[in-house]
């Protein structure tokens, strides 16, 4: 054996993964940055979360509670759930990753949609399994197409509801129909990162469906409406049997003390959440109308972001708009990697940021 030519090789599938590219935040020196690229909250976190965070400063030598009890109980109380059916993660990303690691092996398949959240592909390939990508209809998840793609090797169906980056959602009756037609050994993962923003009577985040089934897991995050993306806090609601499996592979101290304390405080501040929802509702409408007046097209969104398309008639491309806006401090998200080469995703920001984007885009397109 010649040790010189040997080198470490990853598992099959790993080299097929395109690295996840996070939303940019760089603007030219001297320009005020408005980061609208990662769907973060323009209102920031609840003051009570900040207070809780300050309170842990004198106990940094202690390991955190490995069960994240205070956080699980606060979430359970807020939603009327049993804390035994809740697991927390270092961001909901970690929970999605635990699901892939526990349930996907080489030869298995995981289904998600063509404009679905990019992480599903990364996690599927990372587990050595095969991504099965299903077409959407008008930027919407298509239940019939998902059901057609199910084989006896399917183990997980990942759905972001609402979806990122399209902002569209699947109504509760469609989610139910999907679940009713899936084999019992397939896990339906409902990634409800934006659930709190949705104001539609026919939407259900997954709380009901999880309660009635043995193969559905709903994930949520504190990164969006709770304004705590920096602390990395996510949670899932699921059947005990499934969570017991995830708890076997979970890092024993995956939640740090800052996340546990701030998250538990944040979820109790309903007023703060309500203010975020109202701000979002107002600007969802104003921005959509504003973009349409400029001749751009917006996919109808129920989340805290908008997918803005630059049709040929606008005379300019999304890439040109991205450069123009970034030079002026407004950082949106290019979504070519999501299959939208001529669109930008904009997080709904502060009034100042939103008006700034509309003003500069008008100048740019005129
Ligand atoms: C932002 C987002 C998440 C949240 O991830 P965290 O790890 O909790 O920050 C999950 N799913 C989707 C679809 C998202 O857009």
pLDDT digits (tens, 9 = 90+) for 133-186: 999 999 999 999 999 999 999 999 999 999 999 999 999 999 999 999 999 999
pLDDT of residue 3: 64
194 and 234 share one domain: yes
What rounded mean pLDDT belongs to the chain?
Answer: 96
Which ligand 1 atom lies nearest to the CA of residue 165? 15
93 C-alpha to ligand 1 centroid (Å) = 6
Cα–Cα distance for residue pair 363/359, rounded to 1 Å = 6
Tell me the per-residue pLDDT of 334-346, one tens digit each, with 9 for 90 and over: 999 999 999 999 9
Q: Is the CB of 118 under 6 A from ligand 1?
A: no
36 and 59 share one domain: no
**Which of 269, 302, 324 is the last residue before a domain boundary?**
269
**Which of 206, 235, 269 is the last residue before a domain boundary?**
269
Place 26 in a pLDDT band, splitting at 50, 70 and 90: confident
91 C-alpha to ligand 1 centroid (Å) = 7
Which ligand 1 atom lies nearest to the CA of residue 92? 8
352 and 282 share one domain: yes
Residue 7 lies in a domain: no
pLDDT of residue 21: 77
Q: Is the CB of 37 under 6 A from ligand 1?
A: no
pLDDT of residue 4: 67
pLDDT of residue 1: 55
38 C-alpha to ligand 1 centroid (Å) = 9
79 and 164 share one domain: yes
Residue 293 lies in a domain: yes
Tell me the per-residue pLDDT of 248-281, one tens digit each, with 9 for 90 and over: 999 999 999 999 999 999 999 999 999 999 999 9
294 and 257 share one domain: no
Residue 228 lies in a domain: yes
Predicted model pTM: 0.96
**Which of 246, 269, 292 is the last residue before a domain boundary?**
269
In this structure, which residue's CA is closest to atom 2 in ligand 1? 193
| Residue 245 domain boundaries | 47-269
pLDDT of residue 124: 97
39 and 51 share one domain: no
113: domain CATH number? 3.40.640.10
Phi-psi domain of 13 (left: phi exceeds 0; alpha: psi -120 through 50; beta: other):
left
Is residue 236 within 8 Å of 89, Cβ to Cβ?
Answer: yes
Which ligand 1 atom lies nearest to the CA of residue 163? 13
Tell me the per-residue pLDDT of 288-328, one tens digit each, with 9 for 90 and over: 999 999 999 999 999 999 999 999 888 899 999 999 999 99
96 C-alpha to ligand 1 centroid (Å) = 10
Q: Is the CB of 91 under 6 A from ligand 1?
A: yes
361 C-alpha to ligand 1 centroid (Å) = 28
In this structure, which residue's CA is closest to atom 10 in ligand 1? 193
Q: How many domains does the chain have?
A: 2
In the block, tokens 């904009």 appear at 346
Residue 1 lies in a domain: no
342: domain CATH number? 3.90.1150.10
Buried b or exposed e, range 305-342, using 16+ CB within 10 angstroms: bbbbbbeeebebebeebbebbbebbbbbbbbeebebeb
Q: Is the CB of 160 under 6 A from ligand 1?
A: yes
Residue 93 lies in a domain: yes
Tell me the per-residue pLDDT of 28-69, one tens digit each, with 9 for 90 and over: 899 999 999 999 999 999 999 999 999 998 889 999 999 999
Which ligand 1 atom lies nearest to the CA of residue 93? 7
pLDDT of residue 178: 98
Q: Cβ-count burial of 158 within 10 angstroms (0-12 exposed, 13-18 middle, 19+ buried)?
A: buried
pLDDT of residue 27: 87
Place 128 in a pLDDT band, splitting at 50, 70 and 90: very high
291 and 275 share one domain: yes
């Amino acid at each position: 054996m010649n040790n010189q030519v040997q080198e470490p090789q990853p598992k099959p599938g790993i080299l097929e993964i395109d690295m996840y590219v996070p939303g940019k935040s760089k603007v030219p020196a001297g320009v005020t940055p408005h980061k609208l690229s990662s769907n973060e909250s323009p209102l920031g976190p609840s003051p009570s979360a900040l207070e809780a965070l300050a309170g842990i400063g004198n106990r940094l030598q202690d390991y955190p509670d490995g069960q994240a009890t205070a956080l699980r109980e606060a979430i359970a109380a807020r939603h009327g759930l049993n804390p035994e059916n809740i697991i927390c993660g270092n961001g909901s990303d970690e929970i999605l990753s635990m699901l892939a690691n526990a349930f996907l092996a080489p030869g298995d398949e995981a289904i998600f949609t063509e404009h679905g959240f990019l992480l599903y592909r990364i996690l599927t390939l990372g587990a050595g399994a095969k991504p099965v990508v299903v077409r959407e209809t008008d930027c919407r998840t298509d239940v019939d197409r998902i059901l057609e793609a199910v084989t006896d090797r399917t183990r997980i169906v990942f759905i972001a509801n609402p979806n990122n980056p399209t902002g569209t959602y699947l109504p509760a009756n469609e989610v139910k129909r999907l679940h009713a037609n899936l084999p019992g050994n397939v896990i339906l993962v409902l990634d409800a990162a934006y659930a709190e923003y949705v104001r539609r009577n026919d939407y259900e985040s997954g709380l009901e469906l999880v309660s009635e089934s043995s193969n559905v897991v709903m994930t949520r995050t504190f990164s969006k409406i709770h304004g705590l993306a920096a602390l990395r806090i996510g949670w899932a609601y699921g059947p005990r049997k499934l969570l017991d499996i995830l708890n076997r592979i979970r890092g024993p101290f995956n939640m740090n003390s800052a996340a546990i304390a701030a998250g538990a405080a944040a979820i109790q501040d309903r007023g703060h959440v309500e203010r975020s929802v109202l701000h979002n509702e107002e600007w969802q409408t104003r921005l959509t109308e504003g973009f349409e007046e400029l001749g751009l097209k917006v996919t109808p969104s129920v989340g805290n972001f908008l997918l803005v398309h630059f049709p040929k008639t606008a005379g300019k491309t999304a890439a040109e708009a991205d450069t123009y806006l970034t030079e002026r401090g407004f950082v949106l998200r290019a979504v070519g990697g999501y299959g939208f080469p001529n669109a930008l995703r904009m997080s709904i920001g502060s009034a100042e940021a939103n008006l700034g984007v509309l003003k500069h885009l008008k100048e740019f397109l005129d």
